Amino acid sequence: MSGETKTDPGTEELCFTVSDGIGTITFNRPEARNAFTFAMYERLREICETVPGDGSLKVLIMLGAGERAFAAGTDIAQFRDFKTAEDALAYERQIEAVLSAIERCPVPTIAAISGACTGGGAGIAVACDLRLTSRDMRFGFPIARTLGNCLSAGNLARLSALMGEGRVKELIFTSRLLGAEEALGIGLVSEILDDRAALMNRATALAAELTERAPLTLRATKETLRRLRTTARVDDADLIALCYESEDFRSGLEAFLAKRKPRWKGR
């Protein structure tokens, strides 16, 4: 995987290139604010799980195509096929496998965030090791306002490790989106850049810096921290089923797609 691997950004929904030891993963659905399809999730997992051990790839940068978004979560239309609790549980297992693959990736991962970073996109950013952002970032999980589903235990644990349980509750309960300055203040991101061009220049420079660091030190540090966070296992299947099988989720889904306000019933 040395040198550069070229893809056609006009046909790939998730593009992957490698140059000088730095891999760049581009979420390439700008017309949909880079919302993820299930195939995109699987491709992202595959890349993270198959990083070569020969040192040809030393750092991964993740970013969204266009000016509007890093990634606006899962393509909501795909939820229309959900009929049973198992559909929801299978989806959450898939997402957890993707996020776990990012965390287990043996090389450092950098999320270069600009614009909307919500839902599954926010989950991907949180699973990365480092996060940089442009000033127009909007980060959050507005599910209590839109779909009425829930985050898995793994996702909540990642968020809580970064920003604390109280702030996670406030963010999800209110459905508000964090801006760049607040994200910097709570340690969610490490740097703010003025615009997308400056963000990409800084992400590339940081990645180049990391290629000069001892790879085993970086790998051991991130894996030890992952193990510390995942020591306790939580069974959340009943809660996932509670939300995804509810009338509220179905109503929220159809309201979201129709661009109207949902009417919650609590069942």
Structure tokens that stand for 48 in this block: 């993270």
CATH number of the domain where residue 67 is located: 3.90.226.10
Amino acid at 186: I
Q: Is the pLDDT of residue 81 over 70?
A: yes
Inter-residue contact 74 to 152 (CB < 8 Å): no
Domain presence at residue 163: yes
Q: Is the pLDDT of residue 11 over 60?
A: no
Domain presence at residue 155: yes
The two beta strands, 191-193 and 138-140, are: unpaired
Domain presence at residue 251: no
**pTM here?**
0.87
In whole angstroms, what is the distance from residue 109 CA to residue 233 CA? 24
Name the residue range of residue 148's domain. Answer: 14-197+206-228
Number of independent structural domains in the chain: 1
Domain presence at residue 31: yes
Domain presence at residue 24: yes
Amino acid at 112: A
Domain presence at residue 257: no
pLDDT at 264: 76
Q: Is the pLDDT of residue 33 over 70?
A: yes
Average pLDDT over residues 60-72: 96
Query: 138-147, 159-168, 215-224, 250-259: which range is least confident on average?
Result: 250-259
Domain presence at residue 158: yes
Domain presence at residue 115: yes
Structure tokens that stand for 258 in this block: 């129709």
